[in-house]
Structure 1
Amino acid sequence: MSVLVVGAGPAGLTAAVTVARYGLPVLLVERRPDTTSLPRATAVSTRTMELFRSWGIEDRVRAAGPDVTWQARVARNLTAPEGFVADVGFPTRDQALEVSPTWPACVPQDALEQILLEHLRGFPNVRIHQATEVTDLYDGPDGTVLARLRDRRTDAGRTVAAAYVVGADGPRSVVREAAGIGTEGPGVLADYSSTMFHAPLWDHLGEHRYGIYPVTDPDVSGVLLPAGGDRWVYGRETDGRDGTAALLRAATGVADLRPRITREARFRFTVRLARRYRTGRMFLAGDAAHQITPRGGTGMNTAIHDGHDLGWKLAWVLLGWAGPRLLDTYEAERRPVGLRNAERSMQPDGSYRPTTSELPNDLGGRVQHAWLDRDGTRVSTLDLLGLRGTLLVGPRHPRVEPGPDTHRLDAATADLLGIEQAGSLLLHPDGRPAAARELLLQEAGAGDLRR
Structure 2
Amino acid sequence: MRVLVVGAGPAGLTTAVTIARYGVPVLLVERRADTTSLPRATAVSTRTMELFRSWGIEERVRAAGPDVSWQARVARNLTAPDGVVADIGFPTREQALAVSPTWPACVPQDALEEVLLEHLRGFPNVRVHQATEVTDLHDGPGGPGGTVLARLRDRRTDVSRIVAAAYVVGADGPRSVVRDAAGIGTEGPGVLADYSSTMFHAPLWEHLGERRHGIYPLTDPAVSGVLLPAGGDRWVYGRETDGRDGTVDLLRAATGVADLRPRITREARFTFTVRLAQRYRTGRMFLAGDAAHQITPRGGTGMNTAIHDGHDLGWKLAWVLLGWAGPQLLDTYETERRPVGLRNAARSAQPDGSYRAAAGELANDLGGRLPHAWLDRDGTPVSTLDLLGPRSTLLVGPRYTGSVTAGDAPPGRGDGRPARRGAGRRAAAAPRRPARRRAGSTSPGGRRREPSALAAGSACGWRRPGRHTAPAARRAGCGRRSAAPTGRSRAARPAGRTARAHLRRCRTGRASGPRPGTERRAWRRRTSRRRTPTGTSGRPAR
**Would you tell me which structure has more strand in proportion to its own residues?**
1
Query: Using the alignment, how far apart are the partners of 1:357 and 1:405 within structure 2?
Result: 35
1:92-140 deviation line (CA, Å, top 9, x unaligned): 0111000000000000000000000000000010000000000000024
Say how many residue pairs are matched: 410
Query: Using the alignment, how far apart are the partners of 1:227 and 1:408 within structure 2?
Result: 47
1:195 matched residue in structure 2: 198
Match of 1:315 among 315, 318, 321: 318
2:429 matched residue in structure 1: 406
One-letter amino acid of the counterpart of residue 277, structure 2: A
Query: Using the alignment, how far apart are the partners of 1:373 and 1:109 within structure 2?
Result: 35
2:96 matched residue in structure 1: 96
2:67 matched residue in structure 1: 67
Residue pairs, 1:205-284, within 5 angstroms = 205-284=208-287
* CA drift at 1:405: 4.4
1:309-341 deviation line (CA, Å, top 9, x unaligned): 000000000000000111011000000000000
Residue 18 (structure 2) pairs with residue 18 (structure 1): yes
Is the 2:136–2:151 contact (alpha carbons within 8 Å) kept by the matching residues of 1? yes
1:338-391 deviation line (CA, Å, top 9, x unaligned): 000000000000000001110000001101100111233221000011111211
Residue pairs, 1:38-117, within 5 angstroms = 38-117=38-117
Residue pairs, 1:125-144, within 5 angstroms = 125-140=125-140, 142-144=145-147
Is the 1:395–1:408 contact (alpha carbons within 8 Å) kept by the matching residues of 2? no
Residue 159 (structure 2) pairs with residue 156 (structure 1): yes
2:295 matched residue in structure 1: 292
* CA drift at 1:251: 0.4
Is the 2:108–2:230 contact (alpha carbons within 8 Å) kept by the matching residues of 1? yes
Residue pairs, 1:423-434, within 5 angstroms = none
**Where does structure 1 lack aligned partners over 5 or more consecutive residues?**
410-425, 427-451
Query: Using the alignment, how far apart are the partners of 1:371 and 1:207 within structure 2?
Result: 30
Query: Using the alignment, how far apart are the partners of 2:428 and 2:297 within structure 1?
Result: 39
Query: Using the alignment, how far apart are the partners of 2:279 and 2:268 within structure 1?
Result: 31
2:396 matched residue in structure 1: 393
Match of 2:306 among 303, 315, 323: 303
Query: Using the alignment, how far apart are the partners of 2:386 and 2:197 within structure 1?
Result: 39
* CA drift at 1:398: 6.7
Query: Using the alignment, how far apart are the partners of 2:357 and 2:403 within structure 1?
Result: 43
Query: Using the alignment, how far apart are the partners of 1:378 and 1:34 within structure 2?
Result: 40
Query: Using the alignment, how far apart are the partners of 1:29 and 1:160 within structure 2?
Result: 12
Query: Using the alignment, how far apart are the partners of 1:384 and 1:161 within structure 2?
Result: 36
Query: Using the alignment, how far apart are the partners of 1:93 and 1:111 within structure 2?
Result: 22
Is the 2:404–2:431 contact (alpha carbons within 8 Å) kept by the matching residues of 1? no
2:148 matched residue in structure 1: 145
SS in 2 for 1:391: coil
RMSD: 1.4
Is the 1:9–1:113 contact (alpha carbons within 8 Å) kept by the matching residues of 2? yes
SS in 2 for 1:100: coil
Query: Using the alignment, how far apart are the partners of 1:407 and 1:63 within structure 2?
Result: 35
Structure possessing the higher relative contact order (Cα contacts under 8 Å, 6 or more residues apart): 1
Match of 1:176 among 176, 179, 198: 179
1:120 matched residue in structure 2: 120
Is the 1:388–1:405 contact (alpha carbons within 8 Å) kept by the matching residues of 2? no
2:534 matched residue in structure 1: none
Residue pairs, 1:303-382, within 5 angstroms = 303-382=306-385
* CA drift at 1:153: 0.5
SS in 1 for 2:395: strand
Q: Which TM-score applies when normalising by structure 1?
A: 0.89
Identity %: 86
SS in 2 for 1:70: strand
Query: Using the alignment, how far apart are the partners of 2:18 and 2:209 within structure 1?
Result: 40
One-letter amino acid of the counterpart of residue 235, structure 2: W
Query: Using the alignment, how far apart are the partners of 1:212 and 1:202 within structure 2?
Result: 13
Query: Using the alignment, how far apart are the partners of 1:140 and 1:147 within structure 2?
Result: 11
SS in 2 for 1:54: helix
Is the 2:402–2:431 contact (alpha carbons within 8 Å) kept by the matching residues of 1? no
One-letter amino acid of the counterpart of residue 119, structure 2: H
Is the 2:47–2:365 contact (alpha carbons within 8 Å) kept by the matching residues of 1? yes
* CA drift at 1:400: 4.2
**Where does structure 2 lack aligned partners over 5 or more consecutive residues?**
407-426, 433-464, 466-542
One-letter amino acid of the counterpart of residue 224, structure 1: L
